[in-house]
Amino acid sequence: MSRNGWLLLLILALLGTSIWILSSSGTSVLHRQQGNLGLRLGLDLKGGVQVVYTGVFSDNTSDAQKSFDIDAAISSMQKRIDKYGVVEPVIQKLGNDRILVQLPGIGDVDEARRLVEQTAFLEFREVEMNGTGPATLGDYLSENRTGFFETGDIGAEGAPIGREFVDSNGQPVVFIEESDSGLKYVDVDGNAIDPTAIDATMKTGLSWMPAVGEVTREGVTTTVVLTGAYLTDASPQTSSQSSVTTEISVGIKWNSEGTDLFNQVAQRIKNKGSYGTSQRALGIFLDNELLSAPQVFPTTMTESSYGSSASITGNFTWNEARTLAVQLTSGALPISLKELFSSNVSATLGADFVHKALAAGLVGFLVVALFMILYYRLPGVIAILALAVYAILVLAIYKLIPVTMTLAGLAGFIVSLGMAVDANVLIFERMKEELRAGRTLKAAMDAGFSRAWLAIRDSNISTFIACAILYWFGSSIVTSPAVKGFALTLFIGVAVSMFSAIVSTRTFLLSFTGPWATKRLTWFGVEAKSEVEAKDA
């Protein structure tokens, strides 16, 4: 088979695969989206799922602090969702303590929740130790240890706090407060409970208090909890415990506020020292689960400052450490969130909009086709064929990645149809020039393609470079989904249009023209006069 035959086969194979990708629906990852050729349509075109969260704050957190934490949570959430490709969610702050999240192209609320909530909420808490490990509810019950309570223990709100115990799911079950008549046990609703009736399985519940410190922002000093929000970096690392064993841990770096907070916490734990058999340790909690409780003993705490880095240990494998590091850097939520309600949401632009836009796309295509055929004759017909292949390939790639088609994306796609014509126009103009100069059809075609190639190459490579820079920029230095999404769709558009012009158009032209065509140069938009000249040449 000739080279041209193979190329024709390749184009047909790509076309077939694309049509299969677009038409098939099933349960594979490819085909989770239903309807509209399975393309993921944006919130403006199709709607999606909405979840409203509220931040969990203690009673007297100031409004400014709530607002600050919610903003930080929104930016973490945005980064997190961005990691799943071009999703184009809407994330807004509602009032100063709630977050409105809308995700496009997702039919079920659970999937949306997974996407949003799969973030690691890292928190540091001061844990009381009983000599062998963290003190449990059982320890308190059996020893009635009021000694664990000390004046000067303060909570996030700056008031003395009691002890909260959680079950294995991280849900608080029992609170102990110190009162004049000894220890007072209450349940989550604040009702007093009989300590002797507490379930044996609950006795393993752990207690802690948030590791807090003071920060000063714009002249106002507030008490805040040390959380993952104060991290600048996290990465897996190995450290040698002895000459034979190495331990895998996650190295973390604090930002300046975090460094200051960590020092305050470490100093306080150090100053508490040993108290009876109890000691304080810094517990590291990931999504309410105790990861590790590195004890900070007075003897080892001789320094007055602990610098800006620390490490988290916890019997990790390398992969676990790496996953945790990613979760911490990309999605450390500064506060824990509680879902208020969720529902499906309709398209912001209304249902008829998509139909209008598609109709416009079709009319636009027909207008371009008419122009190309009237002006360029046979090559015009072939360019339109190549353009149809172009449109199908681009849509299939959009579905594979997947790219969220928003209004801007759809309009961009329709515009890119127009721009894809450009490469064809370049080639055909060159062909006409060569035919007028008296070349044979075959020579004119070859010359048309090879001469136009330089212009196509240079203009497209410039666009590729611009796309790469925009994409890199939109996803790293300045997180901007709009810039990133645009760069991706433009890149796909230009790459496929290049293929369409130099492979599809060329192959079709060579396949559909034979020696007969030389006698019918008017079909190529060249006047009969030059036809005679061509014969003479």
Q: Which of residues 389-428 bind other proteins (CB under 8 A)?
A: 407-408, 411-412, 414-415, 417-419, 421-422, 425-426
Binding other proteins by CB under 8 A: which of 277, 480, 511, 530?
480
- State the residue for tokens 């014509």: 421
Contact flag: residue 116 with other proteins (CB under 8 A): no
Binding other proteins by CB under 8 A: which of 10, 13, 351, 374?
351
Question: Rule CB under 8 A: which of 49-78 touch other proteins?
Answer: 50, 71, 74
Q: How far is the CB of 392 from other proteins (least distance, A)?
A: 18
Contact flag: residue 375 with other proteins (CB under 8 A): yes
Distances (CA, A) of 246 to 36, 240, 321, 326, 514: 54, 4, 14, 22, 73
Compute how many residues bind other proteins; rule: CB under 8 A.
72
- Determine the Cα angle at 281 with ends 233 and 242, to 5°: 70
Q: Which residues does 52 contact at the CB level (< 8 Å), separation at least 6?
A: 94, 98, 99, 100, 101, 339, 340, 341, 342
Q: How far is the CB of 306 from other proteins (least distance, A)?
A: 34
Q: Which is nearer to other proteins, 256 or 344 (CB)?
A: 344
Q: How far is the CB of 38 from other proteins (least distance, A)?
A: 23
Q: How far is the CB of 490 from other proteins (least distance, A)?
A: 6
Identify the three-state secondary structure at position 154: strand
Q: Which is nearer to other proteins, 363 or 400 (CB)?
A: 363
Q: How far is the CB of 435 from other proteins (least distance, A)?
A: 14
Residue 227 burial class via C-beta count within 10 angstroms: exposed 0-12, middle 13-18, buried 19 and up = buried
Distances (CA, A) of 142 to 185, 259, 278, 290: 14, 38, 15, 23
Gap between the Cα atoms of 71 and 58, Å rounded: 17
Residue 1 burial class via C-beta count within 10 angstroms: exposed 0-12, middle 13-18, buried 19 and up = exposed
Tell how strand 90-94 and strand 98-104 pair up.
antiparallel
Binding other proteins by CB under 8 A: which of 24, 346, 450, 522?
346
Binding other proteins by CB under 8 A: which of 235, 313, 336, 348?
348
Q: How far is the CB of 418 from other proteins (least distance, A)?
A: 4
Q: Which is nearer to other proteins, 192 or 478 (CB)?
A: 478
Binding other proteins by CB under 8 A: which of 10, 468, 532, 537?
468
Binding other proteins by CB under 8 A: which of 133, 371, 374, 514?
371
Question: Rule CB under 8 A: which of 75-94 touch other proteins?
Answer: 90, 92-94
Contact flag: residue 482 with other proteins (CB under 8 A): yes
Q: How far is the CB of 520 from other proteins (least distance, A)?
A: 22
Q: Which is nearer to other proteins, 328 or 498 (CB)?
A: 498
The CB density around residue 350, as the number of other CB atoms within 10 Å, is 11
Binding other proteins by CB under 8 A: which of 224, 368, 498, 534?
368
Contact flag: residue 388 with other proteins (CB under 8 A): no
Q: Which is nearer to other proteins, 122 or 389 (CB)?
A: 389
Binding other proteins by CB under 8 A: which of 5, 16, 95, 131?
95
The CB density around residue 340, as the number of other CB atoms within 10 Å, is 13
Contact flag: residue 155 with other proteins (CB under 8 A): no
Stretch that binds other proteins, among 280-288, 299-307, 320-328, 337-345 (CB under 8 A): 337-345
- Half-sphere exposure in the Cβ direction for 191 (13 Å, CA): 3
> Cα 80 to chain center, whole Å?
4
Q: How far is the CB of 53 from other proteins (least distance, A)?
A: 14
Q: Read out DSSP for 33-83?
A: S-SGGG-EE-TTTT-EEEEEEEE---TT--HHHHHHHHHHHHHHHHHHHHT
In the beta sheet, which residues pair with residue 221? 216
Contact flag: residue 438 with other proteins (CB under 8 A): no
Contact flag: residue 107 with other proteins (CB under 8 A): no
Gap between the Cα atoms of 100 and 119, Å rounded: 16
Q: Which is nearer to other proteins, 36 or 235 (CB)?
A: 36
Structure tokens at 424: 């064809």
Q: Kindly give the residue spans of alpha helices, DSSP state H, lying in 243-377.
A: 256-272, 318-331, 352-376
Q: Which is nearer to other proteins, 234 or 337 (CB)?
A: 337
DSSP 8-state class, residue 518: G
